[in-house]
Amino acid sequence: MGAAEIVLNVVFYVLAASAIAGAVAVAASRNIVRSAFALLAVLFSVAGLYAVMKADFIAGAQVLIYVGGILVLIIFAVMLTHRITDVKLSNDSTPGPAAFCACLCLLFSLLVVVRYSTKWRRDSDTVTARAESFEVSFKQYQADGATGLAFGGGAYEDSVVVVATVSQGPDPLRILDQVQFVATSGANRVSRNFPVAGRDAPYRHVFEKLSEGEWRWTVRLLGRQKDGKDEVDREWEFPLANTGFTVTRGVTEPIALALAGPYLFAFEVVSVLLLAALVGAAFLARKEVKDL
Amino acid sequence: MIFSRHPLEQMLILSAIVFCCGVYTILTRKNAVSILMGVELVLNAANLNFVAFSQYTRTGGVHGNVFTIFVILLAAAEAAVALAIIIGIYQNFGRVDVDEADGMKE
Amino acid sequence: MTPIALASWALELTGIPVLDAFLSILVVCFILINFIAVYAGISTYAERKIAGHMQARVGPYRIGPHGFLVWIADALKLMIKEDIIATNTDRLLFKLSPYVVFAGSFACWVALPYAPNWSPASFNIGILYLLAVSSAVVIGILMAGWSSGSKWALFGAMRSAAQIVSYEVPIGITLLGMLLIYGTLDMQAIAASQAKGLPFGVMEDHYGGLWSWGINRWPPFTVIAFIIYYIGALAETNRTPFDIPEAESELVAGYHTEYSGMRFSFFFLSEYANMFVVSAIATTFFLGGWLPPAPSASGTLLLVVGTVVGAGVGYGFQRRGFDGFVGAMLGSGIGALVAVFAAQPAADGAFTGKGPQILEGAFWFFSKSFTLIFVMIWLRWTLPRYRVDQLMDLCWKKLTPLALINLVAIGILETRHEWWALIVNHFKAAGP
């Protein structure tokens, strides 16, 4: 666990603690204004958690819309629906054992499902290519090394982790010396050589500082082949079709392409709905003009 | 560092806790604006789930993130209309207590 | 070599494994807060001096040479004042709100592009982050107004919050129009992409100096965008002519009526910090960020020559300082235009941001931002105040429609190739 992962974990736990503290304060505070400002803490913490998950655009949108819009509206509503003279507004609640037990049971069941009964699929798919007596199996992961990166999918940071195994059937004529991973994107090319460790040993490498764009993989095996009495250097190349990934800086561009692509209709419908909500809210909250 | 190798499950557990706090708020509060705050907690927990599934599984797309954006937008629309209604109730009844807004009951 | 990388490198030498990541952030924030405090102090001095000279008096004069130390005296006075908290207040929120307001402004300072490749925290979502964390200021203002326990504070807070939130709409729409031109949310990339290209999209490979800046990309639409943004920025920071919430004759002092001493100084600090942030965003989007006004050294020479000649010609016409100023502006523009054709930098001589160019970039960035702040101070002592309904009317009925028309116009102009291809294909298909 490198320093970056430790930092990320610490940040996650701090943000999680503040989100839970805020949520409990919203649920249990006896002053409604304090509830509203505890909601502020929750919203900012959730935005921080989105940033920890590398969904930076959503973190920005969350603060902009939720804090800058919805929370301001909520605080205005709190201030407009109470007498101004009491500063300590009471916030009655009817806490009973029923609601508390129901929520505890709900929480318990969710935790059991999440932690113990569901096998979450985080691992990557494997691509296998065969040639002569060699077989290359190949997986790719996101920068944290554990979340699978689907082939053709997007990496939201500029690094990718590759895990591959090379196995060789019984073949006295061919000897394997090195394995080379090559990633190409247009004119950019990064590669990494590994000396052969042993049969079926996995090779793992983190490719860093990749530029933006679409990348494709090629695996080359360098070895020697016995040709009569001599040994000739040979290369075997596996182009590994349909294995690739896209590097974007953050999640902004993929979201934009999705909103202008598959989700275009939904986007337009939500725009019309927002317009209707705007007009409706302005109408509902108007002050009646009383005839004098 | 208990779950450092399971970031997906970390996020899901956290969102479950926030979700249950939100449900508790909705169930027990009497002030309508407080109930709305509980609804916002529930929506935020759901959004955390969406983004966690999109970022921490090998889906190969940003569908979870796009759904989150839509949920945020719709939460804004719903909060605006709900608060307009609450202000209307206040102007008519003088109180925003949901237990007392029973004028249409028998 | 961002500041955090530098501080982190320095702290790694101490050998503490993971703490250097957190300590480096603390060190950078400490330096930045000190800079904000000194800047805000000098800004108050500048405001009083400029106000004085515009009102035909000298302003502060006695403490230090020409009154230069009066801001230190003011800061000391505020620090040693008695901390009064009224009884009918919500004490926790009362104490918390100055920090929330300041946190909103300070969080914007860390993301500004001060020099090429040199910004405390450079995000992919730069401008979205800046607009988002400015919302914390609104919440802090509401918190302050509510917890003061007085209805004047509450009215001031609600008016101020309504004003800020309303003017975020035209600001957002104008910045969206400019983002259509730049194609990225990253502030450093936005500043860097204003090095090349001339107005109306011609000659996109030439370094144009001040003719490539954002405000000159699609005149008149980008100029209108700048004006709308600047008016909105005045309203965002509660400056005159939009200072209803804090004007003395209106609501005593609005949301910070009940605050005194050190707590009040935080609000004061946040207002000036906010002024710098909105000026810095205007600089980055419209005035070229950290880019110099001429693309190369010989270009600078041409610019200076043009400015001097223009100033002389303008002054000679009417013997008035104002005409000399106008002449200087025209002359510098013509000088920069000549520099585009005569003094292009070599490919590696362009502004790439290595070494001493960081200092040069920071110099230009701060000069432009401080010029915009000077204009804000100038406007404060020149214009009368808007009434609150006139303010809202201006925002929703005049600036927002204008900003939307601007957005559509810039959008059409930026996609002109596709429109042209569409028209050409239509006529080709319907041809002979």
- Sorted by sequence, the CB contacts under 8 Å of residue A99 that are 6+ apart come out as B24, B27, B28
Q: Is residue A48, in this structure, part of any structural domain at all?
A: yes
Distance from CA of A218 to the nearest CA of B (A): 20
Residue A290 pLDDT class (50, 70, 90 cuts):
low
Is residue A173 classed exposed, middle or buried when 0-12, 13-18 and 19+ CB atoms within 10 A define those classes?
exposed
- Show residues of chain B in contact with A106, CB under 8 Å: 19-20, 23
Q: C125 to chain A: nearest residue by CA?
A: A57
Q: Examine the domain organization and report whether A57 and A152 are in the same domain.
A: no
Q: Examine the domain organization and report whether A42 and A100 are in the same domain.
A: yes
Q: What is the pLDDT of residue B2?
A: 45
Residue C203 pLDDT class (50, 70, 90 cuts):
confident
Q: What is the pLDDT of residue A62?
A: 96
Residue C152 pLDDT more than 70? yes
Q: Is residue A83, in this structure, part of any structural domain at all?
A: yes
> Is A292 or C22 the better-scoring residue by pLDDT?
C22
User: The domain that contains A43 carries what CATH number?
Assistant: 1.20.120.1200
Decide if A153 and B58 are in contact by the 8 Å CB cutoff: yes
Distance from CA of B89 to the nearest CA of A (A): 9
Q: Is the dihedral of CA C280, C282, C287, C291 positive or negative?
A: positive
Closest CB to B57: pick one of A99, A122, A152: A122
- Show residues of chain C in contact with A67, CB under 8 Å: 132, 135-136, 139
Domain total in chain A = 2
For the segment A224-248, what is each residue's pLDDT rounded down to a tens digit?
Answer: 777 777 778 878 887 777 778 888 8
For the segment A65-122, what is each residue's pLDDT rounded down to a tens digit?
Answer: 999 999 999 999 998 887 655 555 666 667 778 888 888 888 888 888 888 877 777 7
Write the ipTM.
0.93
Asked if residues A60 and C129 have their Cβ atoms less than 8 Å apart, the reply is yes
Q: Is residue A292, in this structure, part of any structural domain at all?
A: no
Q: Is residue A102, in this structure, part of any structural domain at all?
A: yes
Asked if residues A38 and A22 have their Cβ atoms less than 8 Å apart, the reply is yes
User: The domain that contains A219 carries what CATH number?
Assistant: 2.60.40.3930
Residue B37 pLDDT more than 70? yes
Range picked from A195-209, A210-224, A265-279, C230-244 for highest mean pLDDT: A265-279
Decide if A258 and B63 are in contact by the 8 Å CB cutoff: yes
| Partner B contacted by A91 (CB < 8 A) | yes
Give the residue from C208, C217, C216 showing the smallest Cα distance to C336: C208
- Show residues of chain B in contact with A278, CB under 8 Å: 77, 80
Decide if B65 and A69 are in contact by the 8 Å CB cutoff: no
Q: What is the pLDDT of residue C38?
A: 94
Structure tokens, C308: 């001097």
Residue C15 pLDDT more than 70? no
Q: Is residue A45, in this structure, part of any structural domain at all?
A: yes
Examine chains A and B and say if they touch (3+ CB pairs below 8 A).
Answer: yes
Q: Examine the domain organization and report whether A171 and A215 are in the same domain.
A: yes
Residue C239 pLDDT class (50, 70, 90 cuts):
confident
Q: Examine the domain organization and report whether A136 and A225 are in the same domain.
A: yes
**C-alpha of C262 from chain center:** 26
CB within 8 Å of chain A, chain C residues 139-178: 139, 142-143, 146-147, 149, 151, 154, 158, 161, 165, 168
Q: Examine the domain organization and report whether A268 and A228 are in the same domain.
A: no
Residue B1 pLDDT class (50, 70, 90 cuts):
very low
A contact test, residue of B4, B21, B30, B70 with most A CBs within 10 A: B21
For the segment A133-153, what is each residue's pLDDT rounded down to a tens digit?
Answer: 777 788 888 877 777 887 877
- Show residues of chain A in contact with B25, CB under 8 Å: 26-27
Residue C250 pLDDT more than 90? no
Range picked from B81-90, C21-30, C192-201 for highest mean pLDDT: B81-90
- Average pLDDT on A280-289 reads 82
Axis-axis angle for helices C262-286, C91-109 (nearest 10): 30
Q: Is residue A291, in this structure, part of any structural domain at all?
A: no
Closest CB to A68: pick one of C17, C125, C138: C138
- Average pLDDT on B81-101 reads 86
Residue C16 pLDDT class (50, 70, 90 cuts):
low
Asked if residues C156 and C257 have their Cβ atoms less than 8 Å apart, the reply is yes
Q: Examine the domain organization and report whether A23 and A50 are in the same domain.
A: yes
Examine chains A and C and say if they touch (3+ CB pairs below 8 A).
Answer: yes
Distance from CA of A109 to the nearest CA of C (A): 36
> Is A118 or C218 the better-scoring residue by pLDDT?
C218
- Name the residue with tokens 């004047």: C152
- Sorted by sequence, the CB contacts under 8 Å of residue C116 that are 6+ apart come out as C188, C191, C192, C290, C351, C352, C353, C357, C358, C361
Decide if A42 and B41 are in contact by the 8 Å CB cutoff: yes
- Show residues of chain A in contact with C133, CB under 8 Å: 63
Distance from CA of A271 to the nearest CA of C (A): 15
Distance from CA of A16 to the nearest CA of B (A): 7
Q: Examine the domain organization and report whether A266 and A162 are in the same domain.
A: no
CB within 8 Å of chain B, chain A residues 153-172: 153-154, 156
- Average pLDDT on B93-100 reads 81
Asked if residues A267 and B71 have their Cβ atoms less than 8 Å apart, the reply is no
- Of A126-140, A250-264, C171-185, C312-326, the poorest mean pLDDT is in A126-140
Residue type, C18: V
- Sorted by sequence, the CB contacts under 8 Å of residue C293 that are 6+ apart come out as C209, C210, C300, C303, C332, C336, C364
For the segment C325-353, what is each residue's pLDDT rounded down to a tens digit?
Answer: 888 888 888 888 888 787 777 665 667 66
Decide if A114 and B57 are in contact by the 8 Å CB cutoff: no
Q: What is the pLDDT of residue C179?
A: 95
Q: Is residue A97, in this structure, part of any structural domain at all?
A: yes
CA angle C311, C312, C313 (to 5 degrees): 95
Q: What is the pLDDT of residue C17?
A: 66
For chain B, how far is it from start to end, CA to CA, in angstroms? 57
Distance from CA of B50 to the nearest CA of A (A): 11
- Show residues of chain A in contact with B11, CB under 8 Å: 49, 53
Q: Examine the domain organization and report whether A70 and A183 are in the same domain.
A: no
B contact test, residue of A63, A81, A246 with most B CBs within 10 A: A81
Q: What does pLDDT average to over chain B?
A: 88
Residue C318's alpha-carbon distances to A147, A271, C321, in angstroms, are 73, 56, 9
For every residue of C20-41, DSSP letters joined together read: HHHHHHHHHHHHHHHHHHHHHH
> Is C188 or A286 the better-scoring residue by pLDDT?
C188
Q: Examine the domain organization and report whether A134 and A239 are in the same domain.
A: yes
| Partner B contacted by A256 (CB < 8 A) | no
Q: What is the pLDDT of residue A257?
A: 92
Q: A35 to chain C: nearest residue by CA?
A: C93
CB within 8 Å of chain B, chain A residues 26-65: 26-27, 32, 35-36, 39, 42-43, 46, 49-50, 53-55, 57-58, 61-62, 65
- Average pLDDT on B27-55 reads 93
- Show residues of chain A in contact with C92, CB under 8 Å: 34
Give the residue from C121, C263, C133, C105 showing the smallest Cα distance to C187: C121
Q: Examine the domain organization and report whether A264 and A244 are in the same domain.
A: no
Closest CB to A252: pick one of C149, C158, C185: C185
| Partner B contacted by A146 (CB < 8 A) | yes
Q: What is the pLDDT of residue C30?
A: 92
Residue A292 pLDDT more than 60? no
Compute how many other C-beta atoms are within 10 angstroms of the C-beta atom of residue A131: 11
Q: Is residue A14, in this structure, part of any structural domain at all?
A: yes
Decide if B72 and A66 are in contact by the 8 Å CB cutoff: yes
Decide if A107 and B75 are in contact by the 8 Å CB cutoff: no
- The domain in which residue A204 lies consists of 127-250
Q: What is the pLDDT of residue C407?
A: 96
| Partner A contacted by C53 (CB < 8 A) | no
Residue type, C394: L
The H or E element that residue A278 is part of is: helix A264-284
Asked if residues C316 and C284 have their Cβ atoms less than 8 Å apart, the reply is no
For every residue of C286-327, DSSP letters joined together read: HS-TT--SSSSHHHHHHHHHHHHHHHHHHHHHH--HHHHHHH
Q: Examine the domain organization and report whether A101 and A184 are in the same domain.
A: no
Radius of gyration over every alpha carbon of chain B, rounded to an integer in angstroms: 18
- Average pLDDT on C307-311 reads 88
Q: Examine the domain organization and report whether A225 and A167 are in the same domain.
A: yes
For the segment C35-76, what is each residue's pLDDT rounded down to a tens digit?
Answer: 999 999 999 999 999 999 999 999 899 888 888 999 999 889
In the beta sheet, which residues pair with residue B1? none
Decide if C135 and A61 are in contact by the 8 Å CB cutoff: no
Is residue A83 classed exposed, middle or buried when 0-12, 13-18 and 19+ CB atoms within 10 A define those classes?
exposed
